[in-house]
Amino acid sequence: MKTFKEIVECWDEQMPEGAEVVTVATPMTSNPNPTPMSPKTLDPSIVAGLEARLKDEYTAHLIYKNAANWCKNVNYKHAAAFFEAEAADELTHAQKLQDYLTQWNVLPQIPVSTVPNTFTSLVDCINASYTFEYSLLQSYSDLQNALDGPHPATYNFVQQFVDIQNESVGVFSDLLNGLMLVDVTNRLDLLVFEQEYFG
């Protein structure tokens, strides 16, 4: 078996007849102190779309914090822990969006979200969560559709959020289906439901 050195030394002899050798020149600059070029960034319309979803993620965080607080206040311990975890997840989603924007040389404008604390029942917490998650799934899907063609990299990036939202809609859909099996006006039934589905 030939060594790499032997292969290189016999390279010309092994070339097929008529084959041409292409020499690739290393680009050189005559300027000893070149000015750094500005890196690419995202179109303002893409930035606006991502920042709108950033606001949604912070809004979701606050919705779940309110739901967790309401559940703690009435001693739904399992549901409180569930909504606390959901609230934390929304912050990781918001951070991913910010990291992507800064990767593309955009300084994210962190939005202010205000969510009134109006929950009055466990059913209310679940209804509101499902409504918001379904709406956010539609928003991410619309954003991704708008990026199909104009910016493939961001199109691919947004896909993970479409998947996350699809899963979240499924989770809350299961909870709503579970509520159909109990008498939601009966406190004992709701306590059993909470322990079964959030435990």
Distance between CA atoms of 199 and 196, rounded to whole angstroms? 6
Distance between CA atoms of 128 and 168, rounded to whole angstroms? 13
pLDDT, tens digit (0-9, with 9 covering 90-100), for 135-179: 999 999 999 999 999 999 999 999 999 999 999 999 999 999 999
Take residue 81 and report the two structure tokens written for it.
Answer: 């822990």
Q: What is the mean pLDDT of residues 3-10?
A: 64
pLDDT, tens digit (0-9, with 9 covering 90-100), for 43-80: 999 999 999 999 999 999 999 999 999 999 999 999 99
119 and 128 Cβ atoms separated by less than 8 Å:
yes
Cα torsion 144, 145, 151, 153 to 10°: value is 40
| For residue 13, pLDDT beyond 80 | no
Please identify which residue in the block is written with the tokens 């709406």. Answer: 135
pLDDT reported for residue 148: 95
Give the Å distances, CA to CA, from 105 to 49, 51, 190.
16, 14, 49
pTM of the model: 0.82
pLDDT reported for residue 39: 94
